[in-house]
Structure 1
C-alpha cells in the first residue's frame, strides 16, 4: 500500500520509519471522517477538483524503458522502466473523461476500489492542441503514486502547460501495461539511502526530458521553457535535476528535505520552496536553511503554518470526500494533513505553483510571489 511519508528525517533509520508511519489506506482524519464505515464509499459521479479553466484537456500514459541503464533497485529486472502520465491542452473531444486510477492500482494503493470510480477532467488519447507548450515535470513523494499529483497536473495543463508526472519504479506501487504491478520494494529496505534515491530520480527525470523533447515526442513542447516540481523527496529531486541539467529553467520543492549537498558555487536558477510548518519544527527548518544559502538565483521560501506534509498532494481532497478507515496517532494526522481544508490546500498548491512557473517560464510576474496575499492567508512569507 502507498505510504504517507514525511521525508523530513535525514538518518537512514528515521527516513524509513517515516515512510512506514501510516498507510494511505488508514490515515487519521477529522472526527466526522474517521467515524465513516470501513466499507469503501461509492464514488459514482465523483471527480478530481475542477482545474482553473475549462479548456479541453487530454491525457496519455507512457511506458518508457531507459536502455542506457540497469534498474538500480532491482538489477534482475533489466533496464530501468518508468510509467508517466501526460496532461496537456487538447483539441475538443466528445469522449468521456479518463478515470483517476484503474481498479488494480487502486487495490494496490489502498487495498480497495475506492478511487476507481473517480473521474478526471482529461480525455485519454485526445489530440494535443497544435501549439508548443512550456513543459513541467512532476515527481511524487516517496511511496506515493504519481496519481497523487493529478489535481496539480490537470490544473497546470488547463493554464496552458504540457505536464508529465513520473512514477519512480520500486519507490511506490506502479502499474505497467498488461496489469503487471510492481510494489514499493524500497519501502521495507532499512538500508536505503535517501541521497541515492534523489540522485536516481534525477536520472529518471532527465531520461523523461530526453523523451519528451526529442524526436517522436507525444507532446508538442517548447524545449526552451522547462520546469520541474516535486513533493517531498520528489521536491529535492526537482532541485537536483535542475542542478544537473541545463535544460531545466526553474524548480519547486513542495515540503521536501534535501538529502544531497548542493555545489559549493551555489545554484543560480529560480527555486520556490513551499512547505508546511517549516518555521515551527527545528530539523525541517534547519534543513532548508542550509540549502537556502546555496540558492544564489531568484528564490522564495513560503510556509503554510496550518498545513501538513500532504497539503500539496491529492490526499486532502481524497480524505475529505471519502474518509479512510483506521486511525493513526493524533500527532501524526496534524503533521500529515494539518488543519487547512482540502479546498484551500488545493487552491494554495495550484496557485503558487502556477504563479512561479508563469513568472519563470512565461515571463508573467505575479504579486503572489512578491508579498502576502489576502486571498491566501494560509501562506506566510519566510524569506
Structure 2
C-alpha cells in the first residue's frame, strides 16, 4: 500500500468535512481498490462559487428523461442470517435501501435528497438537506412487474449519490433499489440514528467486495420474494455500481445466478477477482485509455486490462477521457451547484471530475447505462454500444 505523509493525511481528514469531501477522498485514495483516474489533459475546471440553496428548480436533481412518473420509498432491512462483518457487536447486518419505481401518478411531495443530519455526517455541512429529488415520496407503484436494477455506491459514498441515475431508470420503466453498505459510509436509520464508517481507516477492499455481494444477494431475496415491496420481474435483474460498487456489481453477477448483467462505473477490481463471468458486463470509466503507472495493478488501464480477460460474455469498455472518477455520480452536478471546498488541490479536481461539468456527466451516464440495460434486460439494441456517437463525443469505445 502506498505510504502517505502526515500532512497528506491531515489534508484528507479536513477534506472529509467539506462539501464533496467524501467524493474527493474516494478519488484521492490511490492505494485503494476503487478506481483513481489518471490526470486529465488540459486545465481543471474552475470551482463554482459557493451558493446557498433556496426554494426552486435550481435545488432539484436534474429531471429524469423518461415518460413515467417516479415514486420512491425507503426500506430498513435486517439480515438475520449473519452478523455484521465490520461491527460484530452491533448484531445482525442492517441495511438501508432507497427504491425508485414507475408510479401511478406524480404527486407534489418530492422526497428530499437526504436529511440535514446525514448531510452533516457525510460532508460536514447541511447543504444537501435543501436539495429535492424528482420522486414522489410514498407514491403508489404503477401496475405490472418491472425489470430490477440494484445500485451500489462507491466506498465512503452514500446511496443518495446515485439518485440522478436511479430516478432516470425508474422514469424509463425500471424498478430500482439503491443500497447503503453499513459501516462503509455514514448511514442514517429510522429515528435519526446515524452509523459512521467503521472501516474507513483500515479497509480491506477484497473483503468489502465479497461482503457487498452478500448484501446484494440478501436484497434480491427481499425484493423477489412473495412479500416484496414492489412487483419486480425476477427473470430480468441487473446490478450497477460506482467505484468499488462497480467491482461489487460484477462480483454479484458472478455469485448470483439471478443477476443477468452488470455495470461497473470506474471501479477497480480486487487483485484476485472471483473468476470468469460469462454474462453481459459494461465497463464505463474515465481516463483509462493510457497506462500511467506501469507495473501497478492499481493503474486504471492495467487493472481493467487484467480483468477484461475474465469477462467471457458480451462486454464493452467505454472511456470518458475528459471525465473523472466522480463523473458517473451526482457529484458533478452538486459541485456545479454548491462549489468545491476552498483549497481543493487542482490534482484532486482533475482526478475526481476531469473537465466535464454536471449536465454532460449526468446525460452521458444515463444514456449509456440505460442503453446497456435496455439491451440486456429488454432485448432492445442500441447503436450507442456498438460505435461512437456524435451525440456523445466525450465517450470513446475502447474495447468490445
Question: How does the TM-score come out when normalised to structure 1?
Answer: 0.91
Per the alignment, residue 192 of structure 2 pairs with 179
Instruction: Give CA-to-partner distance per residue, 1:2-55, whole Å, 9 cap, x none.
Output: 62213874xxxx229999xxxxxxxxx84352xx35xx6124211000101242
Per the alignment, residue 277 of structure 1 pairs with 287
Distance in 2 (alpha carbons) for counterparts of 1:347 and 1:95: 25
Shift of 1:132: 0.3
1:52 alignment partner, one of 45, 65, 68: 65
Q: Please give the secondary structure, in 2, of the residue aligned with 1:381.
A: strand
Per the alignment, residue 158 of structure 2 pairs with 145
Shift of 1:280: 2.6
5+ residue gaps, structure 2:
1-15, 37-43, 293-298
2:221 alignment partner, one of 200, 210, 218: 210
Contact 1:6 1:232 in 2 (8 A): no
The equivalences for 1:151-190 within 5 A come to: 151-189=164-202
Shift of 1:358: 0.2
Instruction: Give CA-to-partner distance per residue, 1:182-229, whole Å, 9 cap, x none.
Output: 11121122xx21100000000000000000000211111000000000
Distance in 1 (alpha carbons) for counterparts of 2:218 and 2:166: 19
2:46 alignment partner, one of 11, 31, 34: 31
The equivalences for 1:1-383 within 5 A come to: 1=16, 3-4=22-23, 5-6=26-27, 9=30, 14-15=31-32, 30-31=45-46, 33=48, 36=49, 41-45=52-56, 46-189=59-202, 192-259=203-270, 261-263=272-274, 266-282=276-292, 283-383=299-399
Q: Please give the secondary structure, in 2, of the residue aligned with 1:155.
A: helix
Contact 1:172 1:184 in 2 (8 A): yes
Distance in 1 (alpha carbons) for counterparts of 2:195 and 2:47: 34
Contact 1:174 1:183 in 2 (8 A): yes
Contact 2:33 2:267 in 1 (8 A): no
Distance in 1 (alpha carbons) for counterparts of 2:107 and 2:211: 40
Distance in 1 (alpha carbons) for counterparts of 2:124 and 2:341: 11
Distance in 1 (alpha carbons) for counterparts of 2:386 and 2:307: 21
Contact 2:79 2:93 in 1 (8 A): yes
Alignment: residue pair count = 364
Q: Please give the secondary structure, in 1, of the residue aligned with 2:173.
A: coil
Shift of 1:123: 0.9
Q: Please give the secondary structure, in 1, of the residue aligned with 2:104.
A: coil
Flag as ranges the 4+ runs of structure 1 deviating above 6 A: 16-19
